[in-house]
Amino acid sequence: METYYVLIVGFLFLLAVSLLIIGVSNDAVNFLNSAIGSNAASFQVILAIATAGVLIGAIFSNGMMEVARKGIFNPEHFAFSEIMIIFLAVMLTNILLLDFFNTVGLPTSTTVSIVFGLFGASVAVSVYKITGSDAATEVGTYINIENSMLIIAGIFLSVVIAFTAGMIIQWIVRFAFSFNIRKSYKYCSGIWGGVAITTILYFLLIKGAEGSTLVTPQMLAFMNTYTAQILLVSLLGWTLLFQLLVFFTRINILKIIVLAGTFALAMAFAGNDLVNFIGVPLAGFESFRAFSAAGGADAGGFMMEALREPVNTPVYFLLASGLIMILTLRFSKKARTVTATTIDLSRQDAGYERFASSSLARFIVRRTVEFSNGVGKITPRLVNRFIRKRFDAEQARDDKQEKIAFDLVRASVNLVVASILIAFGTSHRLPLSTTYVTFMVAMGTSLADGAWGRDSAVFRITGVLTVVGGWFFTAFSAFLVSFIIATLIYFGKLPVIVILIGLSSYILLRTHTFHRKRIEKETRLNGIVRTSSREILKSCDDEVKTAIIKASKIFSLTYTSFLKEKRGELKSARKEAKHLSREIKHIQEEIPETLRKFDVTDLEIGRHYVQVVAYMKEMSNSLLHIVLPAYNHLDNNYAFDREQTNQLKELNDRMGEFFKFITNLLKIKNNGQMEELVHRRDEMMDLVNEILLSRIKILKKNKKGVKISVTYIEMLTETKNLLLDLVQLVKSEVNLVQSPVTEKTLLAEVLD
């Protein structure tokens, strides 16, 4: 029997390593997004600073381990065998949930996952204990309801507090600095630096020191006695130092604050969230040690009073966990995917938006605009003008500056506010969600900074609502999945454990493959906009060729699958058509940023470029409106008639030849073949019109086949539009590459 539990403890530690990797991939956004988004330093420097913070924070995390041991349930009412079921169910649940969210690129909460996982598993075991016992007991006997509700309330209340604190503090700091940082930097950066560093030191060193294995009671007593003096000396000392650096050096104080904040937040993250990754396995290990020390006790009757006793976690466990977190931080690609979501939702400039608008987001924006206009009417005009000037990001825009998501002022506020809130929660033994806090602080500062403008607000708010909705989904899913897994293990024992671990491994491999393909696709999208005229033109030429080749394959697959009634293949064609449309939409939304990269002498190139992108978009729209009616016809199981099958097959074959001619024409860029292109297009248009006329005759002769006739007419009409769009696209692309201005630009760049 003891061997059985040795295997379970071994499973728990293997799962802990996996959870450390998956969890850090999810939570890296918490302390990397501000430094990366503001380009405070190179990625390697940011990573090195975060690494040091994680390692030190891991050592200071000992006090939080009590949450996994007795924060959610009362361990003295559970037998050793039941405790191990709870712990194993929680670990399997966390791995599956967090990997899913990492794969789709949404930041979720490891804290919520662990808390609700413990809650669900312990409730499941409690219910089965009650139903299998003659004694009259309640679930409240087994579950620490009061403490659980306090932890859950603290987690969700932190969302509101973080958003509000981030918004207010950012407004104050931005008002002081304005967006024209060059003018205000000399007078504000020293004071803000002193306040920021002092605040970080207070919460991380003084408040965060409580409960650490390395801090002696004497050291803690000294810090508590002289707190005010330490803070005053720190504030004056840092302010004076930073002000001297401003006056006599070129050191950027804001970068120092951001990098210090990155270190602090990484440290706060490790101190607060390490319990989410190794707290449960360590509690399982301590349970096993207590059971083994009892010497032959019955696993079903040995109650776990030992978990109520305070235990200092060995430093080597903390250090090993910190090293795994560091390696994950360095090599995980999923960590960068999750980071990108938060940066996209908080960036200052408009552009490609990952999320579509929703009715709720449009309602919120509409009401907010009305409220803002109402406040503006009752505020004195001079006050309005002065505030608008302080918050005018466009007036202070520097086109020569490297494109960044947001500036160092906002990055510093993000880090300072988030680290304060998380460290405060940690010092009070509240396992706040670092993801919730950092994300909502970033959203609050974005709102205060005007990043959610009229052109982007609906998309950003939809993104925030999506992420927050995912958080509630995490809580519900963690409870339900953990409840189910605990039930299966409770009744199935070792065979079920082996099956669940095998199933979990398979799911992790599948999501890894999905994530890799998704990253490859996003890499292609992010590589579209280049930095020079030559790179833009070459990229545009490549994109046109690629788009036409994809359109050819989608068109052929659509007609072939439709005529053979292959719904699965037609579904794939619909998916590919939507992907192509999204890729071209991405290019279209980046047009303003791309045009800024052209010189004044290249305006004619810019006009041709806009035309090319516009016709690409029209081509993708026509293609999509060919695929959708075909798919809907099959999906609704409408009837077919075969009277025009041969005509449609001929159309499909000749369209394939037409696409090949276009591809060859784009390779040689020969204007002399334009007449041949137009001639071939007209022949194709005549064929489509002939098929349409035949369909009208069939419709007049037969009263049946209304649905198929509507589908044919819609597909054929859009095929005509596709032919027109293709010819215009080719003409615009050839004009772009062969225009005199373009040739001159390319020649000049080659000579350089």
Q: What is the CA radius of gyration of the chain?
A: 31
Q: What totals of helices (H) and strands (E) does the chain contain, helices first?
A: 28, 0
Distance CA 554, CA 580 (A): 10
Stated length of the chain: 752
> 145-159, 287-301, 392-406 — which is least confidently predicted?
392-406
pLDDT of the residue at 447: 80
pLDDT at residue 413 greater than cutoff 80:
yes
Over residues 99-117, the pLDDT tens digits come to 777 666 666 777 778 888 8
Distance CA 694, CA 715 (A): 14
Do the Cβ atoms of 341 and 106 come closer than 8 Å? yes
Distance CA 426, CA 151 (A): 12
Distance CA 543, CA 247 (A): 50
Residue 453 pLDDT class (50, 70, 90 cuts): low
CA dihedral 363, 369, 372, 374 (to 10 degrees): -90
Q: Please give the average per-residue pLDDT across 572-577, as a whole number.
A: 92
β-partners of residue 303 are 79
> 296-310, 344-358, 589-603 — which is least confidently predicted?
344-358
Tokens of 604: 């004619």
What residue ranges define each of the domains in the chain, with the CATH number in brackets?
2-522 (no CATH), 532-751 (1.20.58.220)
> Which is more confident, 643 or 147?
643
pLDDT of the residue at 448: 81
| Residue appearing with tokens 């977190």 | 325
pLDDT at residue 752 greater than cutoff 50:
no
Pinpoint the alpha helices (H) of 357-456.
Answer: 359-378, 381-390, 408-427, 434-448
Amino acid at 89: A
pLDDT of the residue at 23: 66
Q: Please give the average per-residue pLDDT across 440-454, as a whole number.
A: 78
DSSP symbol at 211: T
pLDDT at residue 750 greater than cutoff 50:
no
The interaxial angle of helices 457-526 and 359-378, nearest 10 deg, is: 120
In this structure, how many other beta carbons lie within 10 angstroms of the beta carbon of residue 465?
15
pLDDT of the residue at 105: 61
Q: What is the mean pLDDT of the chain?
A: 78
Coil/strand/helix, residue 539: helix
Do the Cβ atoms of 500 and 96 come closer than 8 Å? no
Over residues 634-679, the pLDDT tens digits come to 888 887 887 888 889 999 999 999 999 998 888 876 666 788 889 9
pLDDT of the residue at 19: 73
Instruction: Kindly write down the DSSP assignment for every residue of 244-307, as one continuous string.
Output: HHHHH----HHHHHHHHHHHHHHHHHHHHHHIIIIIHHHHHHHHHHHHHHTSS--TTT-B-GGG
pLDDT of the residue at 106: 64
Helix (H) or strand (E) holding 607: helix 603-635
pLDDT of the residue at 671: 65
Tokens of 131: 């139903």
pLDDT at residue 344 greater than cutoff 80:
no
E-strand spans in 586-741? none
Residue 618 pLDDT class (50, 70, 90 cuts): very high
Counting residues of the chain whose pLDDT is more than 90, the rounded percentage is 13
Question: What does pTM read for this prediction?
Answer: 0.66
In this structure, how many other beta carbons lie within 10 angstroms of the beta carbon of residue 402?
7
Q: Please give the average per-residue pLDDT across 442-454, as a whole number.
A: 77
pLDDT at residue 454 greater than cutoff 70:
no
Long-range contacts for 300-304 (Cβ within 8 Å, ≥24 apart)?
300/79, 300/80, 300/81, 300/82, 301/79, 302/79, 302/80, 303/76, 303/77, 303/78, 303/79, 303/80, 304/75, 304/76, 304/78, 304/79, 304/80, 304/83
Biggest distance spanned by C-alpha atoms of the chain: 99
Over residues 199-210, the pLDDT tens digits come to 878 766 665 555
> Which is more confident, 608 or 532?
608
pLDDT of the residue at 391: 75
Distance CA 80, CA 82 (A): 5
pLDDT of the residue at 706: 79
Burial 73-110 (b: 16+ CB within 10 A, else e): bbbebbbbbbbbbbbbbbbbbbbbbbbbbbbebbbbbb
Q: Please give the average per-residue pLDDT across 221-247, as a whole number.
A: 87
Over residues 345-369, the pLDDT tens digits come to 666 665 556 666 778 778 877 877 7
Distance CA 22, CA 99 (A): 6
Over residues 24-54, the pLDDT tens digits come to 766 666 677 788 777 888 878 888 888 888 8
pLDDT of the residue at 161: 87
Residue 527 pLDDT class (50, 70, 90 cuts): very low
| Residue appearing with tokens 């545009």 | 540
Distance CA 40, CA 661 (A): 50
Distance CA 347, CA 407 (A): 9
Tokens of 295: 């010497």
Q: Please give the average per-residue pLDDT across 541-554, as a whole number.
A: 90
Over residues 691-742, the pLDDT tens digits come to 999 888 887 777 666 788 889 999 999 999 999 999 999 888 887 776 654 4
Counting residues of the chain whose pLDDT is more than 70, the rounded percentage is 78
Do the Cβ atoms of 299 and 55 come closer than 8 Å? no
